[in-house]
Amino acid sequence: MAKKKHDNKRDDQVIPNRLNILFATVILLFTVLIGRLADMQLVNKDYYASKLASASQKVITTSSVRGQIYDAKGQALVENEMKQVASFTRSNTMTALEMRTVAQKLLDYVTVSDVQVSERDKADYYLADPEIYRQVVAALPSDQRYDTDGNNLSESVIYTNAVASLDKNLLQYSDEELKAVELYSQMNGASFFETVNLVTDALSAEQVALIAAHEDQLSGISTTTSWERVILGTTLASIIGTVTSQQAGLPQEDAAEYLAKGYSLNDRVGTAYLEKQYEEVLQGTREKKEINLDRNGNVESIETIQEGSKGNNIKLTIDLAFQNGVNAILKKHFDSELAKGSATYSQGIYAVALEPSTGAVLAMSGYSHDSATNQVAENALGTITNVFVPGSIVKAATITAGWESGVLSGNQVLTDQAIQFAGSNPITSWFTAYGNRSISAVQALEFSSNTYMIQIALNILGQPYVPGMTLAETDQLATSMETLRKVFGEFGLGVETGIDLPVESTGYVPADYTIANYLTNSFGQFDNYTPMQMAQYAATIANGGSRISPHLVEGIYGNSDTGGLGDLIETVQGKELNQVAISDENMAYLKEGFYNVVNGTDSYTTGKAIASGAVVSISAKTGTAETFVTDASGQVLDAVNTNIVAYAPSDNPKIAVAVVLPNLTDLNSATSKTIVTEIINLYHSLYPMN
């Protein structure tokens, strides 16, 4: 009995102890809560006030009209075609069923011809009715509504399962109903408070008036002015690029980058060429509106915090008058070659003109030729994307490689002779048949000596030429090719030119090669280059050795009162990418060689035809690269790439030109030489260079 008393006493003590612990815990929790409230209301009041404000505010951005693109004289190359459209602003309280009803009613006032709806669009339209959606969800298997613990799956997962469960027979709509599906899909893609322009046929004045008169029945619908990008039909159309529609919005591959810059998903952006390169210039200032909500989520006020404005404009370095003239020259001569049959297998004809001192692109013209269909089409982009075997135009770069590597000194004299390796056919210059001749570096350019270049290449390789020698396999081959290509790159050959376009070919520069390839590369018969690279090469020599990036845009301009080309905001300039690493004396030898190619008096002078009819002094380097073509019967025919690089006037160059005319079966064609002269004469007639 005494033991029982003792146990009761212990129980009486345990209960107060538990109550004490409970009270202590409650007091501790209240203390923490009071401390937290003090932190929120006193210490960090501003922080939590801003968090509350941001929770009740939403900032909506709307893009503005895009800037325009003009040629050097201010002629428009692209315009914005303004039109009236129906727009939809989605409120935060609007239901899917309400949107569907509006879409159906809107068809009474607009015409929709372009219907492009997916099966998912049809399903969304079908499930917009909440009663139908409830029934579809109720019919789903339990594992498509609940997880393994019996909790509801997320609404997005349930909705996806509901869409997947639909019988396609339920989604059969008439043509008229599909138009409503199209409109609903566009409206449903808008975020809360976002305004989207609906894609319909162009609205007439009567339709605009009818929509305005019935806006009370068309929740969220209004009319506004929109724009469509129109590329005008000029010879520069192919370099303008494209702009996305509002429905397409940001390209998926660039979306993250654009969003980080403050763009919206449905913003229209440039996707190629000039439109993409100068996107941030052409894109207008976005209008920003702040929407304030009350505690129930209803709109309390809408405030414009940033006015939108039209994008800035860009003006090109290219004068359409000169560009069109160059195109006309190329087309005339290519058509003539086609008529003669010598261009039957040619890929086309291309020309680039640069201002040597600034890198300004004066013309980039071209025509592609489909030998299968004999169709000829404008292709200005081919000047930066298509590559060709250059031929002897590269020889100034090879001589420079000799100087830079220390195997050639100044205007050194070497013997032009047949290069005979053991067990191989001899390699010769075109004039070797007339006998060996001692020539200087300047003459090697004037006469276009292949064997002078091979001897330089052999010396760089560490195997000076000896008649009948055997070429030894050597570890120096890779180093020697790297040396040659590095120097070629100093002139712009085989490297990025730096042109202000988002894509350009760097040429075809194979990683695998033999000693034979290395040697033929020294006179332009291995690596391939673009016409733009060849023009940069000519410009680099013309200006005394500074490689300057070509640029198509002369300046960024604001807008006039009428929305046209306004005042200059910023001048765009080419950048000096590098300086050719030779002395002024050696550069003078290259320029002397180029001058003599056209103006020399020797019987071996290669470019005399260029001087015929020239109104200013021209310096140049010819290039004839041996190629092969296959005719319709499968017979292999000899052909040539006839390339020229040139600049003028010789003593104070204002223009550098590259002309590429590939795969002619007339092996003695002088057409490229005539084209160079005509292009320079045309430029002089528009912009006198004396």
**Residues noted as catalytic:** 392
C-beta atoms surrounding 537 within 10 Å: 27
649 cis-preceded (ω within 30 degrees of 0): yes
Q: Give the number of other Cβ atoms within 10 Å of residue 380's Cβ.
A: 24
Whole-angstrom distance, CA of residue 54 vs CA of residue 46 = 12
Nearest to 337 by CA among 325, 328, 349, 327: 349
Contact 322, 511 (CB under 8 A): no
Cis peptide before 662 (omega within 30 of 0): no
Separation of alpha carbons 130 and 141, rounded Å: 19
Residue 420, burial from CB neighbour count under 10 angstroms (0-12, 13-18, 19+): middle
CB 177 within 8 A of CB 80: no
User: What phi and psi values does residue 63 have, to the nearest 5 degrees?
Assistant: -75, 160
Helices (H) and strands (E) in the chain, counts: 23, 20
Beta strand pairing call for 437-439 and 414-416: antiparallel
Cβ-based burial of 234 (10 A; exposed 0-12, middle 13-18, buried ≥19):
buried
User: Hey, what are 442's tokens?
Assistant: 């300047």
Query: Can you tell me whether residue 379 is helix, strand or coil?
Result: coil
Selection from 183, 198, 213, 181 nearest residue 245 by Cα: 198
Residues 6+ apart with CB under 8 A from 232: 76, 77, 78, 79
Give the span between the Cα atoms of 494 and 78, in whole angstroms.
33
Distance, in Å, from the CA atom of 121 to the CA atom of 521, rounded to the nearest integer, reads 58
DSSP H helices, 475-565, are 476-490, 515-521, 531-542
Nearest to 423 by CA among 477, 459, 469: 469
How far is it, in rounded angstroms, from Cα 229 to Cα 241?
A: 11
CB atoms within 10 A of CB 47: 11
Residue 230 CB burial class (10 angstroms; 0-12, 13-18, ≥19): exposed
